[in-house]
């Protein structure tokens, strides 16, 4: 791992810390707020309470509001500008997937209808592979081809797949996990795919909603410059409070995607479709303008290969969307420990990818996002520190009407943003505190990710024993 | 009588700590941050306005983007 890659975490948290420090100094030089004694009052004329009307001055309120909105609008505007420039680019060498270039190369030629080949990488997925294949076969537009990429399976994954009438590709001496398995199958598949022969990659523990492929095919037919479509994921039902917390988080992400009109952050590994031209361009650029081994579609070093591939496609100017009608149901973690492992991998992977790509126009949005989370960690921890100090130094509970009001607005925001996810989601959002604890948990994962990457700690990922056999197997016909 | 003995104490710290300059700065810091996040929360509650929908736009597609070259739009 390079020095810059190791420094990524420190750069991000350091910048967020510097922002916080500047604010702190500004307040101190301004004299801070003056404290005064709380008053006594009655609620409904019955309960005696202590309350304090202390609230920030209107000037402070205005400046804080202005700063927040300026930052958010600034990031959004810059992101739009960068996207528009890539869209209009005619730079064949730097942005070979830019819409203008793709349009020029495909103008006036009909390459046949859009069809879909689905790749399902699977490592001992006997428990769920059947459901996944059946969800594909039940699609309103069923895929032309389904290939289960069996990676070192020692269970019934392959036989279940063959019995359901789909193809099986068995990896050969793969030690590079999912990314390595996909590279092997893509190396055979891509050379024979025509312009509109889409490749879809989906996880074995994911179930597509019935209209997913129909919507994707419609969009890919209507826009030949569209290079990729990412699924919008919803959490599966069950797994108690922790499951609901994750479902709420995914529901907010889906809402945010809709508000962004589908402009993608990450083409999720759970289910994404690509035009073969896009994957071929990535494989050709690896080792040149993109990190990784020449000829590989996926970078096998990246912990989060889907996030890395998104950055790769964006860096080449590719157009991509996450439309609201392409939804999938994905697994939620059942324990805090499993969630910890999953999120640490995501966080660590996101930071490593940023380190590998550096600060470019295409990665700007992701840097800003990491910076935002870093500042959020500082804001939340100082908030908690303040609460603890207050509790430890007051002999009576004192109510602050201004801050209670602010809490109410946050409760409304938490509820409104998960409204479509149902009554349980709304109830949990309105309670505010469970989601606050969940945010704290994610913040700790974030800090742990930064510490790990800074000290170049290698996480211990399972290495699988390679299996000897080869080639695509035809399904058994009944 | 005056002095520390008459001072009101919370669970662990004297109540006068809440009047100290450090606490005042921390309180103001947290207040500003909270208000910043409040502004963002309100922005998330409200329906999003897409400015480009209301502006005259010379950006319309000049040719079909469909995979069928003979499609008119």
DSSP string covering A283-342: HHHBTTTBSS-TT-SS-TT-SSHHHHHHHHHHHTT-EEE--TT-EEEE---SSHHHHHHH
Is the pLDDT reported for residue A175 higher than 70?
yes
Q: What pLDDT shows up at residue A335?
A: 97
Instruction: Check residue A43 and report its DSSP letter.
Output: E
Tell me the C-alpha distance between A277 and A283, whole Å: 10
Chosen for mutation from B28, B43, B71 (greatest number of chain A CBs closer than 10 Å) is B28
Q: Name the pLDDT band for A43 (thresholds 50, 70, 90).
A: confident
Chain A residues near residue B15 by CB distance under 8 angstroms: 393-395
Of A478, A471, A470, the residue nearest A173 (C-alpha):
A470
Coil, strand or helix: which one is A247? helix
Tell me the pLDDT band of A474, cut-offs 50, 70 and 90: low
Confidence of residue A34 (pLDDT cuts 50, 70, 90): low
Structure tokens belonging to residue A269:
């590994």
Kindly state the tokens that stand for B62. 């000049």
Q: Give tens-digit pLDDT for A107-142.
A: 999 999 999 999 999 999 999 999 999 999 999 999
Q: Over 90: is that where the pLDDT of A365 sits?
A: yes
Is pLDDT of A422 > 60? yes
Select the residue of B26, B50, B66 nearest A386 (Cβ to Cβ). B26
Residue A31 has pLDDT above 60, yes or no: yes
- Judge whether residue A446 has pLDDT over 60: yes
Cross-chain residue pair A23–B34, CB shorter than 8 Å:
no
pLDDT at A32: 52
Is the CB of residue A316 less than 8 Å from the CB of residue A225? Answer: no
B1 falls in which pLDDT band (50, 70, 90)? very low
Among A58, A60, A62, A64, the strongest candidate for a mutation testing the B interface, having the largest count of B CBs within 10 A, is A64
User: B42–A413: do the CB atoms touch at under 8 Å?
Assistant: yes
Query: Is residue A477 predicted with pLDDT exceeding 50?
Result: no
Residues 6 or more apart whose Cβ sits within 8 Å of residue A315: A289, A290, A357, A360, A362, A363
Q: List residues of chain B with CB under 8 Å from any CB of chain A.
A: 8-15, 17-19, 21, 23-45, 48, 50, 63, 65-69
Q: Count Cβ atoms below 10 Å from residue A88 Cβ, excluding itself.
A: 12
Q: Which residues of B touch A221 (CB under 8 A)?
A: 66-68
Contact B23 A114 (CB under 8 A): no
- Among the ranges given (A25-34, A54-63, A190-199), the one the predictor scored with the smallest mean pLDDT: A25-34
Contact A119, A201 (CB under 8 A): yes
**Residues of chain A contacting B26 with CB distance shorter than 8 Å:** 382, 385-386, 389
Query: How many angstroms from the chain centroid is the CA of residue B21?
Result: 26
Q: Any chain B CB within 8 A of the CB of A410?
A: yes
- Whether B2 shows a pLDDT value over 70: the answer reads no
Q: Does A437 touch chain B (CB under 8 A)?
A: no
Instruction: Kindly report the nearest CA distance between residue A460 and chain B, in angstroms.
Output: 37
A276-305 pLDDT, tens digit each = 999 999 999 999 999 999 999 999 999 899
User: What ipTM goes with this model?
Assistant: 0.85
Please give the backbone phi and psi of residue B39, each rounded to the nearest 5 degrees, phi first. -60, -40
A185-202: b or e for each residue (b if 16 or more CB lie within 10 Å)?
A: bbeebbeebebbbbbbbb
Which of A28-32, A299-303, A401-405, B45-49 is the least confident region? A28-32
Residue A170 has pLDDT above 50, yes or no: yes
What are the start-end ranges of the E strands in A92-235?
115-122, 145-150, 167-170, 197-202, 207-208, 226-230, 232-235
pLDDT of residue A473: 58
Q: Which residue has the higher pLDDT, A22 or A336?
A: A336
Query: Above 90 in pLDDT, residue B6?
Result: no
How far is it, in rounded angstroms, from Cα A379 to Cα A373?
10
Q: State the pairing for strand pair A145-150/A167-170.
A: parallel
Q: Is A416 in Cβ contact with B39 (below 8 Å)?
A: no
The 10s digit of each residue's pLDDT in B18-52 is 888 888 889 889 999 999 999 999 999 999 888 77
Q: How many CB pairs under 8 A join A and B?
A: 151
Pairing of strands A271-274, A472-473: unpaired
pLDDT of A321 higher than 90:
yes
Smallest CA–CA distance from B30 into chain A, residue: A383
- The CA distance from A28 to A388, in Å, is 21
Query: Which residues 217-236 on chain A approach chain B with CB closer than 8 angstroms?
Result: 220-225
Neighbours of A472 (CB within 10 A): 13
Average pLDDT score over chain A: 90
The strand pair at A47-51 and A39-43 is best described as antiparallel
How far is A51 from A39, CA to CA, in rounded Å?
Answer: 5
CB contacts of A32 in chain B (<8 Å) are 21, 24-25, 27-28
* List of residues 6+ apart from B68 with CB closer than 8 A: A110, A221
B8 phi and psi angles, rounded to 5 deg: -75, 135
pLDDT higher than threshold 50 for residue A464: no
Once rounded to an integer, what is the mean pLDDT over residues A170-198? 95
**CA–CA distance, A260 with B48 (Å, rounded to integer):** 9
pLDDT of residue A336: 98
Which of the pair, A474 or A124, is modelled with greater confidence? A124
Q: Which residue of A has its CA nearest to B51?
A: A77
Q: Assign B73 a pLDDT band (cuts: 50, 70, 90).
A: low
Q: Which of B24, B29, B36 sits opposite A35 (nearest CB)?
A: B24
Residue A402: what pLDDT?
87
A177 in reach of chain B (CB within 8 A): no
The runs of H, that is alpha helices, within A55-151 are 58-88, 99-106, 129-137
Nearest CA distance, B3 vs chain A (angstrom): 17
Residue A256: pLDDT band by 50, 70, 90 thresholds? very high
Looking at residue A87, its pLDDT comes to 85
User: How many percent of chain A have pLDDT more than 90?
Assistant: 70
The CB density around residue A63, as the number of other CB atoms within 10 Å, is 16
User: Where does A167-295 show beta strands of DSSP type E?
Assistant: 167-170, 197-202, 207-208, 226-230, 232-235, 271-274
Please check the confidence at residue A68 and state whether its pLDDT lies above 80.
Answer: yes
The whole-angstrom distance between B56's CA and the closest CA on chain A is 17
Cβ <8 Å between A32 and B66? no
Q: Is A18 helix (H, G, I), strand (E, B) or coil?
A: helix
Tokens describing residue A16:
């967020």
- What pLDDT, on the 0 to 100 scale, is given for residue A252? 97
Phi then psi for B48, rounded to 5 degrees? Answer: -80, 140
A29 touches chain B (CB under 8 A): no
Ranking A1-5, A248-252, A324-328, A443-447 by mean pLDDT, the lowest is A1-5
Asked if B43's CB is within 8 angstroms of A392's CB, the reply is: no
Assign A216 a pLDDT band (cuts: 50, 70, 90): very high
| Surface of A (311-340) touching B: CB under 8 A | none
Inter-chain CB proximity B18 and A60 less than 8 Å:
no
Phi-psi region of A432 (alpha: psi -120 to 50; beta: other; left: phi over 0): left
pLDDT at A274: 98
Of B14, B26, B42, the CB nearest to A409: B42
3-class secondary-structure state, position A388: helix
Residue A447: other Cβ atoms inside 10 A: 15
8 A C-beta contact, residue A258 and residue A421: no
What's the sign of the alpha-carbon dihedral A315, A320, A324, A326? Answer: negative
Residue A461 pLDDT class (50, 70, 90 cuts): very low
Residue A3, token pair as written in the block? 């020095």
Pairing of strands A327-330, A232-235: parallel
Residues of B in contact with A24 (CB under 8 A): 25, 29
């Amino acid at each position: 791992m390079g020095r810059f890659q190791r420094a990524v975490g420190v750069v991000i948290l350091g910048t967020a810390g510097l922002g916080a420090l500047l604010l702190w100094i500004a307040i101190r030089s301004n004299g801070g707020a003056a404290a005064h004694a709380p008053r006594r009052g009655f609620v409904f004329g019955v309960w005696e309470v202590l309350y304090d009307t202390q609230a920030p001055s209107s000037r402070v309120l205005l400046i804080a509001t202005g700063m927040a909105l300026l930052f958010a609008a600034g990031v959004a505007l810059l992101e739009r500008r960068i996207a528009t420039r890539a869209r209009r680019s005619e730079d064949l060498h730097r942005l070979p997937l830019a819409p203008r270039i793709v349009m020029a190369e495909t103008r006036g030629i009909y390459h046949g209808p859009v069809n879909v080949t689905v790749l399902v990488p699977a490592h001992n997925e006997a428990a769920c592979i059947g459901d996944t294949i059946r969800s594909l076969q039940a699609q309103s537009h069923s895929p032309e081809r389904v290939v289960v990429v069996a990676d070192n399976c020692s269970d019934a994954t392959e036989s279940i797949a063959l019995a359901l009438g789909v193809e099986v590709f068995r990896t050969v001496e793969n030690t590079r996990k999912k990314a390595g398995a996909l590279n092997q199958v893509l190396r055979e598949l891509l050379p024979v795919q025509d312009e509109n022969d889409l490749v879809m990659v989906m996880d074995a523990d994911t179930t597509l909603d019935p209209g997913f492929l129909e919507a994707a095919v419609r969009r890919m037919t209507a826009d030949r410059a569209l290079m990729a479509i990412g699924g919008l994921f919803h959490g599966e039902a069950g797994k108690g409070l922790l499951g609901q917390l994750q479902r709420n988080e995914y529901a907010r992400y889906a809402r945010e995607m809709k508000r962004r009109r589908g402009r993608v952050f990450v083409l999720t590994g759970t289910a994404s479709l690509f035009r073969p031209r896009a994957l071929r361009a990535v494989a050709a650029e690896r080792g040149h303008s993109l990190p990784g081994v020449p000829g590989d579609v996926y970078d096998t070093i990246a912990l989060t290969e889907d996030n890395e591939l998104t950055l790769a496609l964006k860096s080449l100017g590719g157009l991509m969307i996450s439309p609201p009608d392409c939804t999938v149901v994905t697994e939620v973690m059942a324990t805090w420990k499993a969630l910890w492992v999953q999120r640490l991998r995501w966080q660590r992977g996101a930071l490593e990818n940023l380190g590998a790509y550096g600060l470019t126009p295409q990665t700007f949005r992701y840097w800003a996002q990491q910076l935002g989370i870093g500042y959020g960690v500082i804001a939340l921890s100082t908030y908690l520190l303040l609460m603890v100090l207050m509790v430890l130094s007051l002999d009576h509970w004192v109510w602050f009407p201004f801050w209670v009001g602010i809490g109410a607005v946050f409760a409304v925001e938490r509820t409104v943003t998960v409204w479509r996810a149902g009554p349980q989601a709304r109830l949990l959002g309105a309670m505010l505190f469970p989601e606050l604890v969940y945010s704290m948990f994610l913040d700790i994962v974030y800090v742990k990710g930064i510490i790990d990457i800074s000290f170049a700690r290698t996480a211990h990922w399972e290495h699988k024993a390679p299996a000897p056999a080869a080639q695509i197997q035809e399904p058994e016909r009944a | 009588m005056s002095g520390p003995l008459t001072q009101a104490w919370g669970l662990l710290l004297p109540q006068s700590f809440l009047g100290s300059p450090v606490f005042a700065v921390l309180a103001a810091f947290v207040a500003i941050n909270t208000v910043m996040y409040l502004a963002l929360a309100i922005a998330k509650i409200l329906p999003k306005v897409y400015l480009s929908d209301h502006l005259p736009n010379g950006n319309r597609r000049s040719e079909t983007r469909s995979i069928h070259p003979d499609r008119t739009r």
